[in-house]
Structure 1
Amino acid sequence: MSDHISGPRALSDPIADITDVYAFPSPETAGRLVLVVNTLPMAAPDALFSAGLLYRFRLRPLTRSDDGSGWGFVPGDEELVLDCVFDAPEHVADGTGEHRQRGTCVTPGGEQVSFLVNDEAGGEGRGLRVFAGVRWDPFIMDARAALATIATRKLAFTDPGSIFLDGKNVLGLVIELDTGFLPGWELVGVVAETLTRGEFNVRIERVGRPEVKNMMLAPKEFDPVNRDLEIRDLYNMEDAFHLGDSYAGAFRARLDANLAFWDGLDGTQDWPVGEDGSHPLTDLVLADHLVLDITRPYVETGSFLEIELAARRGEPHATCGGRTLNDDVMDTIFTQLVNAGRGPTIRDGVDGATRPGTDAFPYLARPNPDPPEPPEHH
């Protein structure tokens, strides 16, 4: 789930479908920032990247500001962009019928770093290292139970839970970046995108935090304003750092309704809504980028949303924030949605990936050579 199959376009063109985004200080090398974007749900062991896509990370410095919501992070105008593209696959001339593919990433200084897909050493340039290839999908969540919760309007998690089609693969793209490219930056907003490649780039997908589209925007039945509107492709077209006015009302109506649904699952309202029905979490969700403190060291778990929640309480944050590969972020999300962190942890019964991420480059676990068959879509 996370951002797997997050709308009609992702279903029709899964090669451009972003499944997850991660950003964390390197546990291996001080002064380095790790960025991960996974794409193509249910990737086959021999899957390759699209030569027709641009794979992009966008980073902006964030400053604190009191906007009245308590969330208060404003993206600056300065932006660091990392773009990766891939050549068309080539036949390997050894009679095996296999293909080889090269990729190129452009550093902030304009240097091109070349790498071979599925080469664990990756490619390296000044202050930047890149890996791309098939990896084990590290996402931690009982997706079926989450969907059953929405369908039945009752918490449907069990202990233990199960990861849907555990052992599935994704196409992983990992960039390790010297924080010297971000001079004077402390808090950083991170988003990943897939776009069409060429003279005119059309954004196909963009992802910051997990499960915004599938758990918070997808359900239609609670929204009194846009009950028949599939809203996720419209959301993908928006700039994560500068939401336009055209569809903002539709996004807000959907989130206000769906966030109120999640909050009511335990029978109490922990997020009081405004007189106009506005939900206190809506502004946070719409600021849809990971928030990371690049001056703090790596921590394995507990950093996701920590910076944002500390700001809400008016307290200094204690961790690097962002999102690590092995942090069970869905328990954090469900707990905030349902009881605002005031009650017991809302567990989905899944606490880790069967093959967790590692603490050494390229961080993502090796792929499953025999992944489960993808479900049929009708």
Structure 2
Amino acid sequence: MSDHISGPRALAEPIADITDVYAFPSPERSDRLVLVMNTLPFAQPSDTLSEGLIYRFRLRPLTPTGAGEGAPFAAGTPEFVFDCVFSPPTIDGTGPGVVQDGFCTTPTGETVQFRVGDEHSAEMHGVRVFAGLRWDPFMMDAPAALKTIATGTLAFTDPGAIYLDGKNVLSLVVEVDTELLGGADLVGVVAETLTRGKFNVRIERVGRPEVKNMMLAPKEHDQVNRDLEIRDIYNTEDAYHLGESYPGAYRARLNANLAYWDGIDGKVDWAPTAKGDHPLTDLVLADYLVVDATKPYAESGSFLEIELATLHGGEHQTCGGRALNDDVMDTIFTQLINAGNGPVIRDGVDAATRPATRVFPYLAEPNSDPPTVPEHHH
């Protein structure tokens, strides 16, 4: 489920649950970078964004460190932060429903005010913002993926089915002038939800999809921390600077689970490093999207392209990041299972039922009659 329901706390506080993060050059304007954070799985038409949260995007300039051991990029300074907060919803005097305002603070300290649900908000201070209900663009046959993990055998069918298709999310789209990024070409992007007030606690942070649910959640292969639910701990970490206490635990879990994924097709495509780590472990732990803001928008094929090119010692060709219509799960399954040395591993789902558009705010209109939360998620 990408990052839907990615741990006990996300299950307990779904309003703060980030389901997906996207970052891509705008298909409308080459000098704009689009940042998308989707929250609240199974959002209903009456749901509003939380006045108790900070919705934060953190961007850092990246420098490739080259092929070999360790993370493929070094995150530099300064950090560029876009913070969005929301007013309590109020009753609309002109008709049914509620009114809610949002406020986005740019890295230079200016604040841009916008109305929730307004698809035509004006650009101010190099930023344009949309927030509101949208069709969940994430596509994957989640039950088949879970069955694959449970059995160690590919369980995908063609066609597959998007689990509870037609779900809505609360979406935040921040389109920024690349001049606000201080001349950085290559940037890392991570999204976070934090408590709002005098004391800000990071509740969740997301870079790449499926790190928590498919790579960190399964416990049974981890010989070191077999009974540890590790995802809530991982969520509190700074994506650019892991703390000193838990990297050994993350590493043990990833080494075990990534090796398990690699073995699903009966052959080893990722030989362990000299330290005994899986070659993707450091890449996964550098858990942010990598975007080249100078390259043109790509509808598909850009996800992980920069990271993999750098890992293999080559030059990247695309903008990287993650576009809304990119079938990233096929990319992930293929890399995990055969490192791109074999056929594409398809989950049988290639597109959203309502694909994203090429005009702001990009995500498709919400479903007026969405599915509700299934019982076992309560």
Alignment TM-score, normalising by the size of structure 1: 0.97
Give the Cα separation in 2 of the matches to 1:94 and 1:321.
44
Cα deviations across residues 150-207 of structure 1 (Å, max 9, x unaligned)? Answer: 1112111111000000000000000010001123211100000000001111000000
Change (3 A) 1:203 1:123: farther
- Give the corresponding residue for 1:330: 329
- Give the corresponding residue for 1:80: 80
Change (3 A) 1:181 1:94: closer
Q: 1:92 offset after TM fit, Å?
A: 1.5
- Give the corresponding residue for 1:118: 117
- Alignment partner of 1:237 is 2:240: no
- Give the corresponding residue for 2:182: 183
Q: Structure 1 stretch 120-129 or stretch 145-154: which is displaced more?
A: 120-129
Q: 1:376 offset after TM fit, Å?
A: 1.0
Contact 1:18 1:39 in 2 (8 A): yes
- Give the corresponding residue for 2:15: 15
Give the Cα separation in 2 of the matches to 1:67 and 1:330.
24
- Alignment partner of 1:299 is 2:292: no
Change (3 A) 1:273 1:123: same
- Alignment partner of 1:268 is 2:267: yes
Give the 3-state SS of the residue equivalent to 1:125 in structure 2: coil
Contact 2:126 2:177 in 1 (8 A): yes
Task: Name stretches of at least 5 consecutive residues in structure 1 with no aligned partner.
Answer: none
Contact 2:38 2:170 in 1 (8 A): yes
Give the 3-state SS of the residue equivalent to 1:233 in structure 2: helix
Q: Write out aligned runs for 1:149-298 (5 A).
A: 149-274=148-273, 277-298=276-297
Q: 1:148 offset after TM fit, Å?
A: 0.5
Contact 1:71 1:311 in 2 (8 A): no
Q: Structure 1 stretch 180-189 or stretch 330-339: which is displaced more?
A: 180-189
Q: 1:82 offset after TM fit, Å?
A: 0.3
Give the Cα separation in 2 of the matches to 1:83 and 1:289.
17
Cα deviations across residues 7-55 of structure 1 (Å, max 9, x unaligned)? Answer: 0000000000000000000000120000000000000012100000000
Change (3 A) 1:174 1:244: same
Give the Cα separation in 1 of the matches to 2:330 and 2:251.
24
Task: Name stretches of at least 5 consecutive residues in structure 2 with no aligned partner.
Answer: none
Contact 1:111 1:125 in 2 (8 A): no
- Give the corresponding residue for 1:26: 26
Q: Structure 1 stretch 66-75 or stretch 9-18: which is displaced more?
A: 66-75
Q: Structure 1 stretch 342-351 or stretch 102-111: which is displaced more?
A: 102-111
Give the Cα separation in 1 of the matches to 2:269 and 2:205.
30
Alignment TM-score, normalising by the size of structure 2: 0.97
Give the Cα separation in 1 of the matches to 2:71 and 2:296.
23
RMSD, aligned CA: 1.2
Q: 1:94 offset after TM fit, Å?
A: 4.4
Give the Cα separation in 1 of the matches to 2:320 and 2:94.
47
Give the Cα separation in 1 of the matches to 2:186 and 2:70.
16
Give the Cα separation in 1 of the matches to 2:66 and 2:149.
34
Cα deviations across residues 119-164 of structure 1 (Å, max 9, x unaligned)? Answer: 1113531211000000000001111100011111211111100000
Q: Structure 1 stretch 112-121 or stretch 333-342: which is displaced more?
A: 112-121
Contact 2:28 2:359 in 1 (8 A): yes
Give the 3-state SS of the residue equivalent to 2:209 in structure 1: coil
User: Matched residue pairs, number?
Assistant: 377
Change (3 A) 1:118 1:354: same
Q: 1:277 offset after TM fit, Å?
A: 3.8
Contact 1:113 1:123 in 2 (8 A): no
- Give the corresponding residue for 1:375: 374
Contact 2:68 2:311 in 1 (8 A): no
Q: 1:276 offset after TM fit, Å?
A: 5.4
Give the 3-state SS of the residue equivalent to 2:123 in structure 1: strand
- Give the corresponding residue for 2:43: 43
Identity of aligned residues (%): 70
Give the 3-state SS of the residue equivalent to 2:291 in structure 1: strand
Give the 3-state SS of the residue equivalent to 2:215 in structure 1: helix
Contact 2:67 2:312 in 1 (8 A): no
- Give the corresponding residue for 1:360: 359
- Give the corresponding residue for 1:106: 105
Contact 1:358 1:365 in 2 (8 A): yes
Change (3 A) 1:226 1:369: same
- Give the corresponding residue for 2:137: 138
Q: 1:67 offset after TM fit, Å?
A: 7.0
Give the Cα separation in 2 of the matches to 1:178 and 1:275.
42
The one-letter code of the counterpart of 1:312 is L
Q: 1:252 offset after TM fit, Å?
A: 0.4
Q: 1:275 offset after TM fit, Å?
A: 6.1
Q: 1:372 offset after TM fit, Å?
A: 1.4
The one-letter code of the counterpart of 1:330 is M
